[in-house]
């Protein structure tokens, strides 16, 4: 994974405040240490998981930890946190999959998660800055 400094650099370039980037970095890499997230999971996690099972959404069931993070951020924190989370996720993905292009990573990210305004904004940002992002993350 890229260092948090890289995540912070690109979050800042995207206009995301440092405190949001820091919160998302910590949540993404150490979710069990994020008290707010753990309380959210204790309070609402089983209901969210049961709903996925009830509607037989097995695609989402396979990604429950990341899905819970997005739901938590959307419900408890807001859009800027969701954008920061997607940015963190995509930068990590770029680092882990050096053979894939930015476009391929964004396509796979969109397939894995539901389309949303924050992801659309991120896709445009990443494609506009692809060369420099690839250089920083690889």
In this structure, what token pair is assigned to residue 60?
Answer: 């989402």
User: Which residues are CB-neighbours of 119 under 8 A, at least 6 positions away?
Assistant: 86, 109, 110, 113
Per-residue pLDDT for 57 more than 70? no
pLDDT at residue 98 above 80?
A: yes
Is the whole-model pTM more than 0.85? yes
pLDDT digits (tens, 9 = 90+) for 5-49: 999 999 999 999 999 999 999 999 999 999 999 999 999 988 887
> What is the rounded CA–CA span in Å between residue 7 and residue 128?
17
**Domain span at 58:** 4-137
Give 63-77 pLDDT, tens digit per residue: 678 889 999 999 999
Domain tally for the chain?
Answer: 1
DSSP category for residue 76 = I
Residue 10 · residue 134 · CB < 8 Å: no
What's the maximum distance between 2 C-alpha atoms anywhere in the chain?
Answer: 43
User: Tokens in use for 126?
Assistant: 């990443």
């Amino acid at each position: 994974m890229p260092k948090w400094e890289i995540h912070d650099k690109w979050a800042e370039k995207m206009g995301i405040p440092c405190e949001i980037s820091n919160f998302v970095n910590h949540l993404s890499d150490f979710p069990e240490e994020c008290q707010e997230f753990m309380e959210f999971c204790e309070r609402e996690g089983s209901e969210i998981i049961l709903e996925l099972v009830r509607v037989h959404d097995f695609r989402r069931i396979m990604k429950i930890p990341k899905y819970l993070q997005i739901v938590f951020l959307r419900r408890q924190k807001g859009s800027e946190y969701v954008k920061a989370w997607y940015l963190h996720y995509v930068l990590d993905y770029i680092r882990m999959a050096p053979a894939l292009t930015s476009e391929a990573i964004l396509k796979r990210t969109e397939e894995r998660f539901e389309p949303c305004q924050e992801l659309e904004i991120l896709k445009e940002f990443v494609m506009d800055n692809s060369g420099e992002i690839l250089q920083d993350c690889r």
